[in-house]
Amino acid sequence: MKKVTYFPGCSAHGTSEEFDMTVKMVMKSLDVQMEEIPDWNCCGATSAHSLSETLAYALPLRNLVLAEKLDNATMAIPCASCYQRLKVTKVHMDDNPELARKINSTVIDEGTYKGKVAVKSMLQYCYEDIGLEAIKSKVTKSLAGMKLACYYGCLLTRPKNITHFDSPEYPMSMDHIVEALGAKATEFDYKTECCGASFSISDTEVVINLSSQILEMARESGAHAIVVACPLCQSNLDMRQPDIEKHTGKKINLPIFYFTQLMALAFGMSQKDMMFNKHIVPVEGALANIGKIEPEPEKVKKPRKAVEAESEVE
């Protein structure tokens, strides 16, 4: 049995409750024991580092210090924003002991930071620590027939020198995961464009503009739905979709799934637990594609060649 430290993040108790739920379900079925950081606090998100350098480090650092009290080598974080803040803090603290000492002084009551816990996003944890094989082995109800656009957003793979995970421009980890579940990942060029992130509330216009482009490109790629690994992306793309449809005058109707929701689905768990009812955009239409396998356009079969790959023989 694997053990991992779990940092749910504020949205797990709010807008992304379904992410939190499905993560727990999926991890249980994958035989991973999750230990939640006791009495964790908010990572500070964009706001903290917009206004105060010290708080931007101090808030995540407290969580890192608390996490070290649990005896696990790795910490997995579902929320991309929390992941980014904790990882940036970890990297900067590890690089700069002087800074670490300074920031540590604000949370010294909780303990001293040692830097021994690896920080990973839930996606990274699933991809690297659990592995595609383990995921594939749990699939009971293949998602074959579904075409999915995998959307990573800004924070999971960028900046490369902080995250050290996958490509910052055209990542493929989530694509591999959904393909392990049986679905087909579409070629989607807007994988890592920004959805507008924290402007969700303060500047809706930006969010509508950016998210609409992402949705349109996903539509264009032929996807039935979008898969995400970030609560903020999910809420921007899902909750703002009616607004976007009104704004552009085009029907989009793309449900936005967390990748763990789809994993739970493919693992054959009850749809009720996945809280599809919380989605603003109804999911039924997209899920109806499961099992509907399009016949592959038949290729004209050429006579088998003697030497393949590099060279060929007439």
**Segment 8 to 37, residues that bind another protein, using CB under 8 A:** 10-11, 13-15, 17
Distances (CA, A) of 143 to 28, 212, 312: 20, 26, 37
**Contacts for 25 with CB less than 8 Å, ≥ 6 apart:** 260, 264, 269, 273
Q: Is 80 or 266 the residue whose CB approaches another protein more closely?
A: 80
- For residue 185, give both structure tokens: 């990942």
* Cβ proximity of 239 and 166 under 8 Å: no
Verify binding: residue 190, another protein, rule CB under 8 A: yes
Q: Which of 73, 187, 222, 268 binds another protein (CB under 8 A)?
A: 187
What tokens does 110 get? Answer: 């909780």
In the region spanning residues 204 to 243, those forming contacts with another protein, defined by CB under 8 A, are: 204, 206, 210, 217, 220, 235, 239, 243
Residue 230 Cβ vs another protein, minimum distance, rounded to whole Å:
12
Q: Which runs of consecutive H residues, i.e. helices, occur in 105-223? A: 122-124, 132-138, 160-163, 173-180, 199-202, 204-220
Phi-psi region of 228 (alpha: psi -120 to 50; beta: other; left: phi over 0): beta
Residues 59-118, interacting with another protein (CB under 8 A): 59, 62, 102, 105-107, 109-110
Residue 155 in the binding site for another protein (CB under 8 A):
yes
Report in angstroms how near the CB of residue 33 gets to another protein at its nearest.
21
In three-state secondary structure terms, 297 is coil
Pick from 33, 9, 28: nearest CA to 20: 9
CB of 275 to another protein, least distance (A): 8
Of 168, 219, 248, 273, the one binding another protein by CB under 8 A: 168
Q: Is 51 in the site for another protein (CB under 8 A)?
A: yes
Q: Which is nearer to another protein, 25 or 232 (CB)?
A: 232
Which of the stretches 67-75, 124-132, 159-167, 253-261 binds another protein when contact is defined by CB under 8 A?
159-167
Q: Kindly state the tokens that stand for 172.
A: 């493929």
Q: How far is the CB of 85 from another protein (least distance, A)?
A: 10
The span from the CA of 155 to the CA of 80, in Å, is 6
Residues binding another protein: number (CB under 8 A): 72
Return the number of the residue (81 or 260) whose C-beta is nearest another protein. Answer: 81
Q: Which of 29, 34, 35, 42 binds another protein (CB under 8 A)?
A: 42
